[in-house]
Structure 1
Amino acid sequence: HGFINQSGGQISVHSKPGDGSTFLLYLPVSDQPPTPLPVDEKPSEKIGGNERILLVEDDHLVQNVVKHQLESLGYQVITATGGQQALNLLREGNAVDLLFTDLRMPGMGGRQLAQLASEQCPYLKILFTTGFAGHDDEGDGLQDNTNLIRKPYHRAELAQCLRRVLTRQGNT
């Protein structure tokens, strides 16, 4: 839904009890030629690390893809599917260097999670992600967007963003 809206498209839903539902996704036509995907960086240019990251993502498919990306960059990854589970992992003594959380999740949103996690771990670095285009979404009031990466993103973009946040002073 976020990608469709972000792209200027629409979604139409037709549903009838007993007959099922039809979802029509309309994407805008582009007059631009296709842009080739960037080739993944060479191993010598890899911007990774060995820090420990707490990944909080409620969509299991997205969580698995991102976890794989993070691990391929050399990071140690702990996962949680929601804010409360993430806070429990921190309370149990799981030391992490960075909280990487979706802004929009059922129950506790990413901003609330970040605030509570920062109270437990004052030096915790935080990186937010979202697939929604709006700036008025829950918690998407990030003034300079330096600790926000918008979905979809490429592995190289994620790597650069993580290094920027991990090497910055302070937790945001």
Structure 2
Amino acid sequence: MKILVMNGPNLNLLGVREPAIYGVKTLPDIEAMLRRRAKELGTQIDFFQSNHEGELVERLHRAMLEDVDGVVFNAAAYTHTSVALLDAIKATKLKVVEVHLSNVHAREEFRHRSLIAPACVGQIAGFGPLSYLLALEALVSPSFMNSQGAPAQPQSPSKK
């Protein structure tokens, strides 16, 4: 299995930028944590960060060509503004889990709406660096994903 972890604008400043909101761990700290877990899971993992929307779109396009199985994606501020990222996720049909370090629903109102969420298989927010780990675990879990890459649907209890 091959997983891509993508990070959007300003996440290169983790550990320095608003540590009361985003914590003191750096992006390399989060990458190291994910590398350790991916190795335990026997999963290949790659990382990409950009402050530029077009580069994020292009990386999603390349991921499709590289047969990436899933994407852990913190689009940061682009979460709330980027139709281009929404369209790229839809076009590539990649299994994307949207992640956020902070609980975006407990913050400013403009952060409550994700433009990319409708194209993602799930969203994990508010658990700090653990949000990334939970997303990785979800993507590699056979019980989470059905064959089409959508979240597994709970079965209705049979009526007697």
TM-score by length of 1: 0.50
Aligned equivalents of 1:95 and 1:111: distance in 2? 27
Give 2:42's aligned amino acid. G
Structure-to-structure mapping, 1:20-99, within 5 angstroms? 51-57=1-7, 58-59=11-12, 60-61=27-28, 62-82=30-50, 83-92=53-62, 93-99=65-71
The count of corresponding residues between Structure 1 and Structure 2 is 118
What secondary structure does 1:109 align onto?
Answer: helix
Task: Write the deviation string for residues 92-127 of structure 1: whole angstroms up to 9, x where unpaired.
Answer: 43221212101415xx438846513324312x1111
Q: Could you tell me which runs of 5 or more consecutive residues in structure 1 were left unpaired when the two chains were aligned.
A: 1-50
- Give the strand-richer structure, 1 or 2: 1
Aligned equivalents of 1:155 and 1:134: distance in 2? 15
From the superposition, tell whether residues 134 and 125 of structure 1 become closer, same or farther in structure 2 (CA, over 3 Å): same
TM-score by length of 2: 0.53
Q: Could you tell me which runs of 5 or more consecutive residues in structure 2 were left unpaired when the two chains were aligned.
A: 13-26, 152-160
Query: Alignment RMSD, CA only?
Result: 3.7
Query: 1:81, CA displacement in angstroms?
Result: 0.2
Q: Is contact 2:72-2:135 (8 Å) kept? A: no
- Give the helix-richer structure, 1 or 2: 2
Q: Is contact 1:56-1:81 (8 Å) kept? A: yes
Aligned equivalents of 2:90 and 2:132: distance in 1? 30
Aligned equivalents of 2:81 and 2:3: distance in 1? 17
Q: Is contact 2:5-2:71 (8 Å) kept? A: yes
From the superposition, tell whether residues 76 and 155 of structure 1 become closer, same or farther in structure 2 (CA, over 3 Å): same
State yes or no: 1:101 paired with 2:73: yes
